[in-house]
C-alpha cells in the first residue's frame, strides 16, 4: 500500500508535474477564447440606416471644423455630408464605398480611421506586434523566475560554516548562550 507522500507524488497535481505547471495557462487560454467568442459572435441585430449614418459620420472628419467628426459637428458642411451619407445608404452603397467616395473627393485626410493597407497598415499592425512581444517577454521572464536554480551548500561550504562556528564558540568573552555576541547589557 502506498504512503500518503507517495500518493501525493503520483497525483497529476503534484508540485513538479507538467499538469500543475500548464493548468493555469490552459485555464487562461480558455477564458480568453470564451471572451473573444462572446465579443465576436454575440447576438446583434442588423444596424438600421440611422445607425449606419451615425457610424460612418463618426469616421469622417468635418471639412470646415478643426478636430471634429461629421457626427459631432453642426456646421452646414457636416449637415450636408450626413444627408449625403443617408442618401447613399438609401441607394444601397456599402459603408466602405461611401468612405472611399469621400476619401476620393477630399483626400485620405478626411478619414478619421486609417485604411488597413500600405503604410497605414502599420497603425493597425504595430500595436498588435508590440503586445505580442510584451506577452512573449513576460512569458520568458516568468519562466526563468519559476525555474531558477536553487542554491545548495556544497560540502566545502558546510565545512567552512562549521569551522567558523567552532572558532566563534572558542573565543573568550563570548558566552555559549549568547550566539549573536550581544552580551548581557540589554
Is residue 115 pLDDT above 70, yes or no? no
- Mean model confidence pLDDT for the chain: 80
C-alpha cell at 55: 457610424
Beta-bridged to residue 69, according to DSSP, are 61
Distances (CA, A) of 179 to 33, 91, 172: 59, 93, 13
Q: Does residue 33 fall inside a structural domain?
A: no
Domain count, the chain: 2
What is the per-residue pLDDT for 87? 93
**Is residue 108 in a domain?**
yes
| pLDDT for 182 | 66
Q: Grid coordinates standing for 162?
A: 562549521
Residue 138 lies in a domain: yes
pLDDT, residue 41, reads: 75
**In terms of pLDDT, which residue wins out, 131 or 37?**
131
> What mean pLDDT do residues 21-38 have?
87
Range of the domain at 119: 114-145
> Would you say residue 47 has pLDDT above 70?
yes
Q: What are phi and psi of 172, to 5 degrees?
A: -75, 150
Exposed / middle / buried, residue 68 (Cβ in 10 Å: 0-12, 13-18, 19+): middle
Q: pLDDT tens-digit profile of 134-175?
A: 999 999 888 888 776 777 888 998 899 898 888 877 766 555
Amino acid at each position: 500500500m502506498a504512503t500518503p507522500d507517495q500518493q501525493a507524488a503520483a497525483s497529476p497535481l503534484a508540485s513538479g508535474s507538467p499538469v500543475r505547471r500548464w493548468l493555469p495557462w490552459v485555464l487562461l487560454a480558455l477564458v480568453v477564447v470564451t471572451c473573444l467568442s462572446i465579443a465576436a459572435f454575440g447576438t446583434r441585430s442588423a444596424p438600421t440606416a440611422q445607425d449606419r449614418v451615425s457610424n460612418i459620420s463618426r469616421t469622417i472628419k468635418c471639412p470646415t471644423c478643426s478636430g471634429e467628426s461629421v457626427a459631432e459637428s453642426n456646421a452646414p458642411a457636416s449637415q450636408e455630408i450626413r444627408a449625403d451619407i443617408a442618401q447613399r445608404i438609401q441607394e444601397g452603397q456599402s459603408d466602405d464605398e461611401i468612405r472611399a467616395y469621400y476619401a476620393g473627393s477630399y483626400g485620405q485626410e478626411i478619414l478619421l480611421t486609417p485604411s488597413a493597407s500600405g503604410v497605414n497598415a502599420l497603425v493597425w499592425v504595430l500595436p498588435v506586434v508590440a503586445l505580442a512581444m510584451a506577452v512573449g517577454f513576460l512569458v520568458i521572464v516568468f519562466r526563468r523566475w519559476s525555474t531558477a536554480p536553487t542554491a545548495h551548500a556544497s560540502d566545502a561550504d558546510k565545512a567552512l560554516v562549521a569551522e567558523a562556528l567552532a572558532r566563534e564558540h572558542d573565543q573568550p568573552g563570548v558566552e555559549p548562550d549568547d550566539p549573536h555576541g550581544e552580551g548581557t547589557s540589554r
